[in-house]
A and B are shown apart, each in its own frame.
Chain A
């Protein structure tokens, strides 16, 4: 088998592979920068918690309308947002810290979601919701994922400056930001909405358990390649898309489920970056090379 046959033919021959490729591209464009901001805000685990929180909403959508993308998408979005807001609220009015209340709410959500799906659906449906089926993405699904990527990029462009300052120096933004110091909180909220939106996009391709994979792994890998925020976001996008292609090919040729293949491809990219990347990787630590004079 030539490289061409291996890497290009599947996409030329099969429409479902082309759709899956387009879905991966859209997911990468949205998830890349959102993931980078999550890492910079030290919220990597919160992304994971939120991805599980999406499940009960999607499950209720599934109960109401079967495997309807829109019902499950909207349900998942509302559930994810509710958990994010509740966890934030609990940490503000009680002594529990935000990460702990996030963990509590997402565990409740995950268990509730699995229970709801199993009430009505078969095991196949449950697998579908938990692990996604990017190879079965239809036109509606593509539109949803592409729409989410578009909204994400527009909002990030609009709120880039306060979002970055809110990560870097929240006290300064409170002092100078105006809106009686609430600009930071507003940005945080909008950002959470973006995270949940992108998780809903990823969930339909990769399933609730792995939707966060294409968000966090490329973002974490990017830290070993780039040092500026813009370059970090671009690197994360590129790595996510490359993992998408790699995972799809793997899944196609070896007849493996697509979601785990894509996330494992992103995982392999992460391990490679960790070992070999030019910024702060194991290689630069063990073989520092010559440093500049100043």
Chain B
């Protein structure tokens, strides 16, 4: 590809990265969605993943939770087990009319501690109620989730992640189709996680939101365009380049694409 090569500030040499990506290539049915991504997410960092549609942002999160096996390269978690990761998928495959109430949904966040058989005592229940208070849903404990709006349900999912108490939190477009007030409240929760030195990685579209709330950004267009401080990563030249790359993508599948050039020796 034309243009100057990006030097990625968080290289493999960074010792304090909690997730390290090494020459990572991801895709579905042999069609790569991400090429040769290397770098690391610092422990305690708050990073936005930004890029045009089809840039491989969601794919990257799926690979980090282990739901997608890399075509090439690998994801290394440092000092983390899968139980230390909380993941909010873009469209959670949740049955929204399932007969379960808000508190029970939030209590699922305790799964790592209670598993299949252990009972949930008063202390764990109180933590779930506190989490509901943090997301502004006190008093909703016994509401069935079918009776909630999309924004309220997203608050419930954030409360469940609060209860999960995970060290790495992955959010895939958490504020899409969510009203402004809910977004502001949930951004407060994200800030709180950042203050607690948890690592948060969020796929986002709203660049203003990214600039004002996320210190670090990974700009992705199937290849990494920029990765570093948000002000640098979202510089106009980088955005133009990301858009130019997206325009080069075929509309449907890239069956005619040859093998990846850089994969060859």
| A-to-B contact residues, CB < 8 Å | 40, 159, 161-162, 164-165, 167-172, 174-178, 181, 226-229, 232
Contacts and interface: CB of A to CB of B under 8 A. Distances in A.
B85 A159 contact: no
A228 B104 CA distance: 11
Interface string B5-48: 00000000000000000000000000000000000000000000
A159 B112 CA distance: 16
Given A40-B95, A177-B111, A168 B100 contact: yes
B253 interface: no
Contacts of A167: 95, 98
A90 B116 CA distance: 30
A170 to B, nearest CB: 6
Contacts of B100: 164, 168, 229
Contacts of B235: none
B93 interface: yes
Contacts of A227: 99, 144
A171 B99 contact: no
Contact of A170 (B65, B93, B111): B93
Contact of B116 (A162, A171, A181, A229): A162
Contacts of A170: 93
24 contacts: A40-B98, A40-B99, A159-B116, A161-B116, A164-B100, A165-B108, A168-B100, A168-B105, A169-B92, A169-B108, A170-B93, A171-B89, A171-B93, A172-B92, A172-B108, A175-B65, A175-B85, A176-B83, A176-B108, A177-B111, A178-B83, A178-B115, A226-B99, A232-B99
A159 B117 CA distance: 8
A226 B144 CA distance: 12
Interface residues of B, number: 25
Contacts of A176: 82-83, 108, 111-112, 164
Given A167-B98, A171-B92, A176-B164, 12 more contacts: A161-B117, A165-B111, A168-B94, A169-B92, A169-B95, A169-B108, A171-B89, A171-B94, A172-B92, A175-B65, A176-B82, A176-B111
B104 to A, nearest CB: 9
Select the residue from B66, B92, B98, B144 with max chain A CB neighbours within 10 A.
Answer: B98
A174 B65 CA distance: 10
A169 to B, nearest CB: 5
B177 interface: no
Interface in B189-222: none
